[in-house]
Structure 1
Amino acid sequence: MEDILEEDLTLPPCKYEYLDHTADVQLHAWGDSLPEAFEQCGIAMYGYMTTLSTVEIKEVREIEATGHDLESLLYHFLDELLFLFSCEPFLICSKVVITEFITEGEDFRIKCKCYGEEFTLGKHPQGTEVKAITYSAMQIISEPEHNKFQVFVIIDI
Structure 2
Amino acid sequence: MFEYFETTADMGIIAKGKSLEDAFKEAAKGLFHIMVDIDKVDKKEKIEFEVSGENLEELLYNFLNELIFYSDVENLVFSDFDIKIEKDNNGYKLKCIAYGEKINKEKHNIKEEVKAVTYHKMEVKKEGDMWIIKYIVDL
Percent identity, aligned pairs only, is 35
Q: Which has the larger radius of gyration?
A: 1
- Structure 2 unaligned segments of length 5 or more: list them: 1-5
TM-score (norm 1): 0.81
- Aligned to 2:129, which of 133, 144, 147? 147
- Structure 1 unaligned segments of length 5 or more: list them: 1-19
TM-score (norm 2): 0.91
1:39 aligns with 2:13: no
The total of aligned residue pairs comes to 134
Q: Which amino acid aligns with 1:154?
A: I
1:133 aligns with 2:117: yes
Partner of 2:3: none
- Aligned to 1:92, which of 50, 58, 77? 77
- Aligned to 1:112, which of 96, 101, 105? 96
- Cα-to-partner distance string for 1:62-105 (whole Å, 9 max, x where unaligned): 121111111100000001111110113x110010110x311233
- The 1-side partners of 2:126 and 2:7 are apart by 30
1:80 aligns with 2:66: yes
Normalized per residue, which structure has more strand?
A: 2
- The 1-side partners of 2:76 and 2:19 are apart by 26
Partner of 2:49: 63
- The 1-side partners of 2:7 and 2:17 are apart by 29
**SS state at 2:96 partner:** strand
